[in-house]
């Protein structure tokens, strides 16, 4: 995977099958990718589930980030650390999702 990133391919991580781990949990997919490819940073992995898929769908002008004009889909996970460790906390999250916003509306 490192070589694919190195040559500039848009590598994405998703939950489309049970081939890489035993659940359809995106956090688990990121942890599996990190375990198999330790040179990837947590920031790399978060990009592979947010910005990169938006780019692959040619929707990077409205998906993949929290910014004005982008579709408002978001989740909340517990976190009490500093800003420098937030990507690590996302990848390592094993908690349930307490709430989510889909299309700007609170779902849970």
Tens digit of pLDDT for each residue in 48-81?
Answer: 999 999 999 999 999 999 899 898 788 999 888 8
Tell me, what's the pLDDT at 22? 78
Q: Is the dihedral of CA 2, 7, 12, 17 positive or negative?
A: negative
| 78-86: long-range contacts, CB 8 A cutoff, minimum separation 24 | none
**Residue where the block lists tokens 């500093």:** 82
Encoding tokens for residue 61?
């002008």
Angstrom distances, CA of residue 55 to CA of 10, 25, 49, 58, 108:
8, 21, 11, 5, 28
CA-wise closest residue to 10 among 63, 56, 57: 56
For the segment 18-54, what is each residue's pLDDT rounded down to a tens digit? 877 778 899 999 999 999 999 999 999 999 999 999 9
Q: What is the spatial order of strands in the sheet that 105-106 belongs to? A: 74-76, 99-102, 105-106
Confidence band (pLDDT; 50, 70, 90) for 98?
confident
Confidence band (pLDDT; 50, 70, 90) for 1?
confident
């Amino acid at each position: 995977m490192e070589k694919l990133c190195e040559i500039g391919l848009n590598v994405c991580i998703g939950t489309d099958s049970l081939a890489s781990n035993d659940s359809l949990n995106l956090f688990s997919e990121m942890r599996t990718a990190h375990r198999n490819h330790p040179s990837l940073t947590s920031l790399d992995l978060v990009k592979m589930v947010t910005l990169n898929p938006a780019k692959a769908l040619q929707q990077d002008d409205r998906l993949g980030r929290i910014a004005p004009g982008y579709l408002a889909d978001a989740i909340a996970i517990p976190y009490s650390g500093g800003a420098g460790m937030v990507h690590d906390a996302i990848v390592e999250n094993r908690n349930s999702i307490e709430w989510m916003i889909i299309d700007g509306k609170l779902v849970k």
